[in-house]
Amino acid sequence: MLEHYLDSLVQYGLDKGLIFPEDRYYMVNRLLELLKLDTYTPSSEAVETDLYAILKGLLDYACQAGVIEDDVTSRDLFDTKLMGVLTPAPHEVQRAFRQAYAQSPQAATDYYYRLSRDTNYIRWDRIMKNRQWQADTPYGKLDLTINLSKPELPPTSLAALRAAPKTGYPLCLLCRENEGYAGRMNHPARQNLRPIPLTLAGQSYCLQYSPYVYYNEHCIVFSTVHTPMAIHHAAFTALLDFVTQFPHYFLGSNADLPIVGGSILTHAHFQGGRYVFAMEKAPVETPLHFEDFDDIQAGIVRWPMSVIRLRGADPARLAALADRILTAWRGYTDESALVFASTEGIDHNTITPIARRQGADYELDLVLRNNITTEEYPLGVFHPHAELHHIKKENIGLIEVMGLAVLPPRLKDELHRLSQLLLTDGDLYADPLTAKHADWAYALKEKYTLRAENVDDILRQEVGTVFAQVLEQAGVFKRTPQGRAAFRRFLLTLHAR
């Protein structure tokens, strides 16, 4: 049976164009080496075509034979090692990418995305476990996903993770040195990772895809230098240069401060892809004109957060105006709006930028952010408040800003239990899965006539409504007369009218 799965993996590599017929015996012997075998008889069975069934068969053998431990992390490390054998060398991937780019930028990313899926760098079987839906809100259809793609580690794996020695190589998950790395219990294997070198605004970057894509062709563009996240003129220029080279993708950046930034602030990187978020569809509701920038269309976007949209034909001009806005915002204080540029020497103001193309034009959305905390709001004034934490407590980063809620795995079971108890008049306060949702859910019971055929749809819609409220709370200038007046006061410092 082992030979069946081994032959199937080699045939998979041939079918996907990862290897060539001349490589067959070489690949068989490489796989035998990893499986600690020195004999082989070709299987007479028809090959298995499902990659995940093939890998499961090989992993089960490796566990039974004592090649690896039977835990989630060890299995992940080993299946990546197996796929690394089939993955073309970096120079081959880069050459194929350049050849495809000569046809078109889309042909290049199509090739690279397919490769990343075929080599199992993008773990599609796990991504398909995510729960995804859309919800109608005053800001359009927002996207929501319950993130189930990252495996839950059992206690044995967690213990091994804690016991694993700490090393400084690679310095982080985004460092260039991850390419081909074997991994360890506290660092994922990357034998099937092949980043694509890019030059953006004269600086060295690499393109890769997220192994757990949250939306179509979710990519990461990271600096080849391990340097902290920073929003500045060079960042705007790099974003705009990327969408010059890949006009069918957008590219944005998390903010560069805690609370309003992403999960990795220690390594400069951007995120992009081929997806139209609700934010991009949102219209400009208040046109603006900036002094000395007659060639740039600008305006406030109809969005729950505070967004200035710039559009024009010259990316250098957009970057210059974005830098002017950023500089003004970094130093701006309006105590009546709870906006403080800094307190006790700690800076609070920054921007989450997103670049895209609209036909021949460039578009740059600038989302104003502030990470100040108070005794009343210890996690952040412009952060989801406690009454919404039953749905979303985590930071509001780039992906959420654009209109996609990445929700915690716990909600899968909690929402399922909620629907059961709402239909049977169970005590929501008494159940640990539903207690945190009880006040919210009982209000829904008053609002709707809940039945078996509609309860799940209603819960999903109402989770979307909560997410819209989360974004409103993360907005610096609220969508109220007072908030609009405060937004205008800031714009006046830029001589915008």
CB-based contacts of 65, cutoff 8 Å, min separation 6: 35, 36
Six token digits for residue 223: 């600096």
Flag whether pLDDT at 262 surpasses 80.
Answer: no
In percent, the amount of the chain with pLDDT more than 70 equals 97
Express each pLDDT in 141-152 by its tens digit.
999 999 998 765
Flag whether pLDDT at 9 surpasses 50.
Answer: yes
Report the distance separating Cα 241 and Cα 199, nearest Å. Answer: 9
Whether the CB-CB separation of 481 and 311 falls below 8 Å is answered with no
Whether the CB-CB separation of 221 and 269 falls below 8 Å is answered with yes
Flag whether pLDDT at 156 surpasses 60.
Answer: no
Mean pLDDT of all residues in 93-100:
98
Q: What pLDDT does residue 151 have? A: 60
Flag whether pLDDT at 17 surpasses 50.
Answer: yes
Q: 375 to each of 228, 372, 387, 484, how far by Cα in Å?
A: 29, 11, 16, 26
Flag whether pLDDT at 165 surpasses 70.
Answer: no
Q: How many CA atoms lie within 13 A of 273 on its CB side?
A: 18
- Residue 486: pLDDT band with limits 50, 70, 90: very high
37-46, 118-127, 133-142, 231-240: least confidently modelled range: 37-46
Express each pLDDT in 326-340 by its tens digit.
999 999 999 999 999
Q: What pLDDT does residue 121 have? A: 98
Q: What pLDDT does residue 164 have? A: 59
Six token digits for residue 145: 């996903």
CA angle 208, 165, 153 (to 5 degrees): 65
State CA 158 to chain mean position distance: 24
Six token digits for residue 17: 């164009």
Mean pLDDT over each residue of the chain, to the nearest integer: 95
Asked whether the CA dihedral 329, 333, 337, 343 is positive or negative, the reply is positive
Q: What does pTM read for this prediction?
A: 0.94
Q: What pLDDT does residue 461 have? A: 98
- Residue 263: pLDDT band with limits 50, 70, 90: confident
Express each pLDDT in 274-329 by its tens digit.
999 999 999 999 999 999 999 999 999 999 999 999 999 999 999 999 999 999 99
Q: Are strands 349-358 and 361-370 parallel, antiparallel or unpaired?
A: antiparallel
Six token digits for residue 478: 């609220």
- Residue 469: pLDDT band with limits 50, 70, 90: very high
Report the distance separating Cα 10 and Cα 3, nearest Å. Answer: 10
Ramachandran bin of 495, using left for φ above 0, alpha for ψ from -120 to 50, beta for the remaining angles: left
Flag whether pLDDT at 479 surpasses 50.
Answer: yes
- Residue 1: pLDDT band with limits 50, 70, 90: confident
Q: What is the 3-state secondary structure (H, E, C) of the chain?
A: CHHHHHHHHHHHHHHCCCCCHHHHHHHHHHHHHHCCCCCCCCCCCCCCCCHHHHHHHHHHHHHHCCCCCCCHHHHHHHHHHHHHHHCCCHHHHHHHHHHHHHHCHHHHHHHHHHHHHHCCCCCHHHHCCCEEEEEEECCEEEEEEECCCCCCCCHHHHHHHHHCCCCCCCCCCCCHHHCCCCCECCECCCCCCCCEEEEECCEEEEEEECCCCCCCCCEEEEECCCCCCCCCHHHHHHHHHHHHHCCCCEEECCECCCCCECCCCCCCEEEEECCCCHHHHCCEEEEECECCCCCCEEEEECCCCCEEEEEECCHHHHHHHHHHHHHHHHCCCEHHHCECCEECCEECEEEEEEEEEECCEEEEEEEEEECCCCCCCCCCCCCCCHHHCCCCCCCCCHHHHCCEEEECCHHHHHHHHHHHHHHHCCCCCCCCCCHHHHHHHHHHHHHCCCCCCCHHHHHHHHHHHHHHHHHHHHCCCCCCHHHHHHHHHHHHCCCEC
- Residue 160: pLDDT band with limits 50, 70, 90: low
Q: What pLDDT does residue 497 have? A: 82
Asked whether the CA dihedral 438, 439, 442, 448 is positive or negative, the reply is negative
Flag whether pLDDT at 23 surpasses 90.
Answer: yes
- Residue 12: pLDDT band with limits 50, 70, 90: very high
Mean pLDDT of all residues in 191-219:
97
Express each pLDDT in 37-50 by its tens digit.
999 999 989 899 99
Place of tokens 């305006």: 299
Report the distance separating Cα 382 and Cα 371, nearest Å. Answer: 7
Q: What pLDDT does residue 158 have? A: 45
Q: 339 to each of 222, 256, 301, 333, how far by Cα in Å?
A: 31, 17, 20, 5
CB-based contacts of 190, cutoff 8 Å, min separation 6: 80, 178, 179, 180, 181, 183
